[in-house]
Structure 1
Amino acid sequence: MGERGLRVIREFQSYYDDLNGVRRAIVRRIPVAPGQRWLDIGTGDGWFALEIERVLSPRVVIGIDLARCEVELARQHAWDSHSRLSAFVQMDAYRLGFPSETFDGVGTFLALQDICLDLLSMRRLFGEINRVLRPGGWFALATTTPEDAETPSQKLALEIYQYIRAGFFTKAEIQEALERVGFEVEHLEFYPTGVNLEPEEAKAFIQFECDWLERAYGWRNKPDWQAVWARFEPRIRALGGLEVDAKVTFFLARKVRMVNPVPERLMELSREVRA
């Protein structure tokens, strides 16, 4: 990657760190009292957990991620931010290493499509979140719903994400999964982030996303970024850019009952079918 590509990635990362204040706006919609315990699933760079710490004044925030490199980055951000309440650990979101009813709230920010491959795995994730939440606890879910993309550029960004690594779920699928495992959706809102990458910025972003798979998860069968760029370049240039994560869908759900988790064997069978 040339110097311009590196600059683009740095600028995009700087944008993502702030995300036009969307994380802060979402956290402020969560009706919780100070001194509670929170869990951030798929914490990535840790910014959502740190925003919870800044805005909600919890007792503690624990961020978990399967990728060690992401956990290390989140710890660095916590250090740079002089965090005193947030801790970050490597952990599988489907096997949370916490006793039942440990947390007052659980959040996840733009990580659902990276964690869950299908509806069964999403229900299993939500069931595990239900398990570690106390009765009446909050689940703050920020994601992207494909049917709510507003422009051709936003729709193309979702298509590229799906082509590289990620799947997305509709609002109806998410709500059905939440209700099936004991949640009640109390609030649904959309937040624009305002991002619009120019074509060369989109090229650097595609390279970053493809390379990230190997860095984060050791996935050597990653897509070749040059092939991905060649496939989508004409459409990106025709649209004049790429609106990546331009619109965030926020679900605020409350735990209203405990349910039995999805059996592990069903998850194994689901993975075998996909394979």
Structure 2
Amino acid sequence: MGERGLRVIREFQSYYDDLNGVRRAIVHRIPGAPGQRWLDVGTGDGWFALEIERALFPRTVVGIDLARCEVELARQHAQESNSQLSTFIQMDAYRLGFPSGIFDGVGTFLALQDICLDLPSMHRLFEEVNRVLRPGGWFALATTTPEDAETPSQKLALEIYQYIRAGFFTKVEIQEALERMGFQVEQVEFYPTGVNLDPEEAKAFIQFECDWLERAYGWRNGPDWRAVWAYFEPRIRALGGLEVDAKVTFFLARKVHPVKPASELVVDLS
């Protein structure tokens, strides 16, 4: 990658850790109460779970992710942040190993497009979230909705994400899925992150994203970053860069009725 590329990745990761305070702003919009149990689905680096811990004063926060390397990173961040309440576990989001109705809130931040490949899989995820939530519990979902990209650079970033590994759902698709799976949407809001990579930073970002598939999931059949860069480089340079995750769409939904429960694998949270 070269020294500049490594520096770009370090700087991008550092910026992504904060994202212009968007995680913090979203968590402060959640009507949580002290002493609650929270779950962070697709926790990745763990920052959303740790924001929940800092802002909502919960009894506990559990972050789950399918990728072991992400769980280890989240645990490292928790240790560095002197977390006392957050626990991170490797787990399948479609088979949450918790009793029904145990959580007061569930969150997920920029993970929906990595977890769900199509509408049926999104329905499965929301059904499982509904199952582990208590009646009236909150579902805080932050994602990217393609129709809300404001610039050609933002639209290109979404296209690149989709080309490498991720799919995106529209606001209508997400809201309809939430309502079908027993939720009532209370808020839909938008948050700019300000991420804007120059062409060389975009190149390093593409390499990072392509390599992440093998690093996180052992997937050796992912696209080669050089081929992806060669394909998109002319358009990236023509636009002067790439606005990655530049805008976050936040849905706050409340569980209003249960759906048929799936089989349970119980993890003790006492």
TM over 0.5: yes
Q: In angstroms, what is the RMSD of aligned CA positions? A: 0.9
Structure 1 letter corresponding to 2:234:
P
CA distance in 2, matches of 1:18, 1:121: 29
- Aligned partner of 2:204 in structure 1 is 204
- Aligned partner of 1:273 in structure 2 is none
Contact 1:144/1:249 (8 A) holds in 2: yes
Structure 2 length-normalised TM: 0.97
- Aligned partner of 2:55 in structure 1 is 55
Structure 1 letter corresponding to 2:68:
R
Say whether residues 1:154 and 2:154 are aligned partners. yes
- Aligned partner of 1:115 in structure 2 is 115
In structure 1, the residue corresponding to 2:22 is in which secondary structure? Answer: helix
- Aligned partner of 1:129 in structure 2 is 129
TM-superposed CA distance for 1:187, in Å, is: 0.4
4+ aligned runs moved over 2 Å, structure 1: none
Contact 1:124/1:262 (8 A) holds in 2: no
In structure 2, the residue corresponding to 1:8 is in which secondary structure? Answer: helix
Say whether residues 1:193 and 2:193 are aligned partners. yes
Q: How does 1:16-165 map to 2 (within 5 A)?
A: 16-165=16-165
TM-superposed CA distance for 1:77, in Å, is: 0.2
Distance 1:61 1:149, change over 3 A: same
- Aligned partner of 1:234 in structure 2 is 234
TM-superposed CA distance for 1:257, in Å, is: 0.1
- Aligned partner of 1:166 in structure 2 is 166
Contact 2:36/2:60 (8 A) holds in 1: yes
Contact 2:38/2:60 (8 A) holds in 1: yes
CA distance in 2, matches of 1:22, 1:55: 13
Q: Show CA shifts across 1:212-261 (max 9, x none).
A: 00000000001000000000000000000000000000000000000125
* Unmatched tracts of structure 2, length 5 or more: 264-270
CA distance in 1, matches of 2:17, 2:250: 18
In structure 2, the residue corresponding to 1:212 is in which secondary structure? Answer: helix
CA distance in 2, matches of 1:231, 1:88: 37
Contact 2:43/2:64 (8 A) holds in 1: yes
CA distance in 2, matches of 1:261, 1:148: 34
Distance 1:262 1:121, change over 3 A: farther
TM-superposed CA distance for 1:198, in Å, is: 0.3
TM-superposed CA distance for 1:32, in Å, is: 1.2
TM-superposed CA distance for 1:262, in Å, is: 8.0
- Aligned partner of 1:13 in structure 2 is 13
Structure 1 length-normalised TM: 0.95
Contact 1:186/1:253 (8 A) holds in 2: yes
CA distance in 2, matches of 1:158, 1:38: 30
Q: Show CA shifts across 1:8-30 (max 9, x none).
A: 00000000000000000000000
Distance 1:72 1:123, change over 3 A: same
CA distance in 1, matches of 2:73, 2:88: 9
- Aligned partner of 1:179 in structure 2 is 179
Taking every aligned residue pair, what percent have the same amino acid on both sides? 87
CA distance in 1, matches of 2:239, 2:232: 11
Q: Show CA shifts across 1:125-174 (max 9, x none).
A: 00000000000000000000000000000000000000000000000000
CA distance in 2, matches of 1:181, 1:70: 28
